[in-house]
Amino acid sequence: MPAAPLPVRDGLNPTRLRLPNAGPWPTALAFLLARFPSDARRLREKVAAGEVVDERGAAITAVTPFRPHGFLFLYRDPPVERRVPFEVEVLHHDENLLVADKPHFLASTPRGAYVAESALVRLRRSLDLPELTPAHRLDRVTAGVLVLTVRAQARRAYQSLFDERRVDKEYEALAPYDPALRLPRTVRSRIIKERGVLQAREVPGAPNAESRIELISVRDGVGRYRLRPRTGKTHQLRLHMSSLGIPIVGDNVYPEFHDVAPDDYSTPLQLLARSIEFDDPFSGRRRRFVSGRTLAD
């Protein structure tokens, strides 16, 4: 994939589109109009203003031929968003790293209906850090420690720590207490997540997900649990807790989905990325970052 020839603008990356191998479109603009019919007027305006470019950075025009296998880059108009009424805090900031303490309900990165209302875009804008990039994933409904890289030259080194499982992650969760459930225990299973399907699921086969689950304390029938994932599959901790019969408090996806309005902040998922620890790839020092947030009893 070619690097984007357009810079980050107002905290947002340009959209990259790969042109199909073949098609009926005589021009690149015709392809764009077919791909985004509801944005036809704005796309014509952007092309006329020279704001749509190819992978070389050359602006296309209304008559630029459709080129199979090519790429187009442009800034899409972000959706109108209601502000998520919670703030992201900065735990650490140096020349390579920014470590954030993300609240529940704030997306980590732009996706779907949440673009400007994401931790990444908020931090890029407020701190003027256009190269800021997450080193790992944290669900919108999960709060806690999120590690981001400040400059492009440091990105691969920190992302590799997560890819190669050289990061110790500790989560905290509230869930029902089952006195018959023997803990601590390590849960291993094979998890798959299909595109367009909300729930991940466990299937037969060699395990690709592993979580260590410990009980910290019990109060009024609710347990406080320490969760240590060794792998990072989508919804892994939520699915493993649900499979044990103790779904995390506030989970509207496991074991059964029920709809929650986007602006309903009354029942946050009681899952917190409490801490992250790793050996820094540049200094070699052991680094540990801890969330200052708490879960509701």
| pLDDT at 3 (0 to 100) | 83
CATH number at residue 206: 3.30.2350.10
Q: Average pLDDT in the 106-116 region?
A: 91
Indicate if 50 and 193 belong to the same structural domain. no
How many domains would you assign to the chain?
A: 2
**Hey, what are 133's tokens?**
């990039």
Neighbours of 257 (CB within 10 A): 11
Indicate if 54 and 100 belong to the same structural domain. no
| pLDDT at 79 (0 to 100) | 82
Indicate if 138 and 256 belong to the same structural domain. yes
Residue 231 domain flag: yes
Output the average pLDDT for the chain. 95
The arrangement of strands across the sheet holding 53-54 comes to: 15-18, 71-74, 53-54
Indicate if 60 and 95 belong to the same structural domain. no
| pLDDT at 67 (0 to 100) | 95
Indicate if 224 and 253 belong to the same structural domain. yes
The answer on pLDDT for 113 being more than 90 is no
Indicate if 169 and 126 belong to the same structural domain. yes
The answer on pLDDT for 1 being more than 80 is no
Indicate if 55 and 185 belong to the same structural domain. no
Residue 109 one-letter amino acid: T
- Which residues are within 8 A (CB) of 296 and not within 5 positions of it... i.e. 6 or more apart? 174, 268, 270
- Distance between first and last Cα of the chain: 47
Indicate if 36 and 69 belong to the same structural domain. yes
| Of the candidate ranges 7-11, 97-101, 187-191, the one whose mean pLDDT is the lowest | 7-11
| pLDDT at 80 (0 to 100) | 86
Indicate if 60 and 193 belong to the same structural domain. no
Indicate if 153 and 108 belong to the same structural domain. yes
Rounded to an integer, what distance in angstroms lies between the CA atom of residue 192 and that of residue 233? 8
139-163 pLDDT, tens per residue?
Answer: 999 999 999 999 999 999 999 999 9
Q: Average pLDDT in the 79-107 region?
A: 96
| pLDDT at 297 (0 to 100) | 63
Q: Average pLDDT in the 2-23 region?
A: 92
Q: Average pLDDT in the 102-120 region?
A: 93
* Closest residue by Cα to residue 140 from 108, 168, 167, 172: 108
